[in-house]
């Protein structure tokens, strides 16, 4: 009897003719994620399921932690394979499995059976009845609940017999890489890492760009962004982080444009540069951590003024979320502690006391004309001196 791990996936299952493409992508992502886990594993697809089989010693917690960080995985169930599938043997294997996975606490359950091997002498309803009775007799804490069982108990008779119970929940979503690539504007704050997590959960591969303004922002502020990229790379896979030195552009805006429009003009240049990198890197969209009305630069008018410089779609996964909800998600994905470290980001230094909240596009464009002589050169040199950092947590 050996333990392997059944990967349950939710949404991929409904993809019709293209299902195999999503499954193959998921298998590929699992294989690459497991390179960072001690031990050797075989990952394979059979009969519409993905199984991870350990081939050497391994640490179960380390393996499970890796598997439940992979988008597309909805649940991971440790499975016992029983080679000798005589029914008595299956039942005793089931008992051992339940004691190992659930322990001897009180719990409710319901049995589900599948008979892939049609020659097997006992049919599915009978397997359910007999296995249910056996569990009730043999495991003192077990109680049946056919409506809302805490544990579903599965018995599958295939070439071998497999038994397993409801497993460890994973984030679900779609395998990263199945929905194209996007460029995330990643700052050191709370929001943008969550935005990156959310978009990647839909299968979008991400790269990131950070606008750095030394000496106004410190090396530590930059390191914080690298650390945040590393935290989300746990879910998204390795991230290429582009660091743009934004100081000269910011100074030029500060010197030549009305101060109540600083933030909005700065954001327009961030978007323009992010878009240049995005096009180079074959990204199909930009992603930000903005949410309506969170700050002056996130009113609908301000968002429209930033969008006006973009030729590609700008996705804002947090657009209708409250700060509280964003913080909860940030905590859940393990980014919050890092996000709240107090290093200044480049926007906090140049913020006006009373920024415009309803910018008029023609006024903004008029103000930007003050930059005409210098801005192309500054953008070009910021772009050419960009630093690329590969960030990976495994």
Return the residue nearest ligand ATP (CB atom).
189
3-state SS assignment for residue 206: strand
Task: Say how many CA atoms lie within 13 Å of 156 toward its Cβ.
Answer: 16
Cβ-based nearer residue to Mg ion, 312 or 351:
351
Is there a contact between 81 and 97 (Cβ–Cβ < 8 Å)? no
- Compute the distance between CA of residue 317 and CA of residue 192 in angstroms, rounded to an integer: 9
Query: Does residue 330 interact with ligand ATP by CB under 6 A?
Result: no
Query: Does residue 346 interact with ligand ATP by CB under 6 A?
Result: yes
Interface with ligand ATP (CB under 6 A), residue from 162, 211, 235, 336: 211
Is there a contact between 144 and 132 (Cβ–Cβ < 8 Å)? yes
Point out which span in 119-127, 135-143, 152-160, 209-217 binds ligand ATP (CB under 6 A): 209-217
Point out which span in 16-24, 27-35, 145-153, 181-189 binds ligand ATP (CB under 6 A): 181-189
Cβ-based nearer residue to ligand ATP, 145 or 388:
388
Point out which span in 10-18, 75-83, 122-130, 206-214 binds ligand ATP (CB under 6 A): 206-214
> What per-residue string of b and e applies to 192-230 under the rule 16 or more CB within 10 Å gives b?
bbbbbbbbbbbbbbbbbbbbbbeebbeeebbebbbbbbb
- β-pair type (41-46, 387-391): unpaired
Query: Does residue 187 interact with Mg ion by CB under 5 A?
Result: yes
User: In terms of C-beta distances under 8 Å and separation of at least 24 residues, what long-range contacts does 148-153 make, across chains too?
Assistant: 148/108, 149/108, 149/109, 149/110, 150/107, 150/108, 150/109, 151/102, 151/107, 151/108, 151/109, 151/110, 152/109, 152/110, 152/112, 153/94, 153/98, 153/109, 153/110, 153/111, 153/112
Cβ-based nearer residue to ligand ATP, 347 or 378:
347
Query: Does residue 196 interact with Mg ion by CB under 5 A?
Result: no
Cα–Cα nearest to 368, from 285, 235, 239, 272: 272
Interface with ligand ATP (CB under 6 A), residue from 261, 290, 329, 368: 290
Query: Does residue 189 interact with Mg ion by CB under 5 A?
Result: yes
Cβ-based nearer residue to Mg ion, 189 or 196:
189
Point out which span in 18-26, 43-51, 208-216, 250-258 binds ligand ATP (CB under 6 A): 208-216
Interface with ligand ATP (CB under 6 A), residue from 23, 101, 156, 191: 191
Interface with ligand ATP (CB under 6 A), residue from 23, 207, 345, 368: 345
Site size toward Mg ion (CB under 5 A) is 3
Query: Does residue 185 interact with ligand ATP by CB under 6 A?
Result: yes
Other beta carbons within 10 angstroms of residue 13's beta carbon come to 13
Cβ-based nearer residue to ligand ATP, 94 or 252:
252
- Compute the distance between CA of residue 18 and CA of residue 285 in angstroms, rounded to an integer: 23
Cβ-based nearer residue to ligand ATP, 29 or 298:
298
Query: Does residue 295 interact with ligand ATP by CB under 6 A?
Result: yes
Pull the structure tokens for residue 160. 């071998």
- Compute the distance between CA of residue 155 and CA of residue 123 in angstroms, rounded to an integer: 11
Cα–Cα nearest to 184, from 120, 89, 278: 278
Query: Does residue 347 interact with ligand ATP by CB under 6 A?
Result: yes
Binding mask 146-185 for Mg ion (x = CB under 5 A): ----------------------------------------
Binding partner selected for residue 288 from Mg ion, ligand ATP, none, CB under the kind-specific 5 to 8 Å limit: ligand ATP
Considering only residues 131 through 170, tell me which ones interact with ligand ATP, judged by CB under 6 A.
none
Query: Does residue 193 interact with Mg ion by CB under 5 A?
Result: no
Q: Is the dihedral of CA 205, 209, 210, 214 positive or negative?
A: positive
- Compute the distance between CA of residue 36 and CA of residue 233 in angstroms, rounded to an integer: 13
Query: Does residue 288 interact with ligand ATP by CB under 6 A?
Result: yes
Q: Which residue has the tokens 């579903």?
A: 152
Binding partner selected for residue 237 from Mg ion, ligand ATP, none, CB under the kind-specific 5 to 8 Å limit: none
Considering only residues 331 through 350, tell me which ones interact with Mg ion, judged by CB under 5 A.
345
Cα–Cα nearest to 266, from 227, 341, 216, 228: 216
The contact set with ligand ATP (CB under 6 A) reads 185-187, 189-192, 209-211, 288-290, 294-295, 297, 345-347
The contact set with Mg ion (CB under 5 A) reads 187, 189, 345
């Amino acid at each position: 009897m050996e333990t392997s791990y059944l990967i349950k996936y939710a949404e991929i299952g409904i993809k019709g003719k293209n299902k195999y493409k999503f499954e193959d992508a998921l298998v590929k992502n699992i294989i690459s994620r497991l390179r960072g886990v001690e031990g050797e594993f075989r990952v394979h697809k059979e009969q519409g399921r993905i199984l991870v089989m350990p081939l050497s010693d391994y640490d179960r917690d380390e393996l499970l932690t890796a598997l439940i960080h992979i988008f597309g995985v909805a649940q991971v169930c440790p499975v016992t394979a029983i080679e000798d599938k005589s029914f008595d043997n299956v039942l005793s294997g089931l008992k051992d499995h339940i004691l190992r996975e659930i322990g001897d606490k009180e719990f409710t359950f319901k049995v589900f059976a599948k008979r892939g091997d049609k020659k097997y002498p006992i049919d599915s309803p009978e397997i359910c009845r007999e296995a249910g009775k056996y569990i009730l007799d043999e495991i003192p804490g077990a109680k049946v609940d056919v409506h809302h069982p805490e544990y579903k108990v599965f018995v599958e008779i295939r070439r071998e017999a497999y038994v397993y119970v409801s497993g460890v929940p994973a984030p679900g979503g779609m395998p990263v890489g199945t929905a194209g690539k996007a460029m995330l504007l990643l700052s050191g704050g709370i929001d943008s890492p969550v935005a990156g997590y959310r978009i990647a959960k839909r299968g979008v591969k991400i790269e990131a760009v950070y606008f750095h303004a030394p000496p106004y922002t410190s090396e530590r502020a930059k390191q914080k962004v690298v650390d945040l990229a590393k935290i989300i790379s746990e879910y998204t896979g390795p991230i290429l982080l582009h660091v743009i030195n934004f100081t000269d552009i910011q100074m030029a805006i500060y010197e030549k444009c009305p101060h109540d429009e600083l933030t909005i003009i700065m954001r327009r240049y961030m978007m323009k540069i992010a878009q240049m990198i995005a096009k180079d890197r074959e990204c199909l969209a930009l992603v930000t951590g903005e949410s309506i009305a969170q700050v002056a630069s996130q009113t609908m008018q301000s968002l429209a003024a930033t969008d006006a410089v973009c030729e590609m779609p700008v996705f804002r996964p947090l657009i209708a979320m409250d700060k509280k909800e964003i913080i909860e998600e940030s905590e859940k994905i393990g980014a919050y502690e890092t996000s709240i470290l107090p290093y200044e980001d480049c926007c906090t230094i140049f913020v006006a006391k009373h920024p415009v909240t309803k910018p008029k596009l023609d006024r903004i464009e008029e103000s930007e004309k003050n930059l005409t002589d210098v801005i192309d050169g500054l953008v070009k040199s910021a772009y050419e001196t960009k630093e690329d950092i590969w960030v990976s947590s495994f």
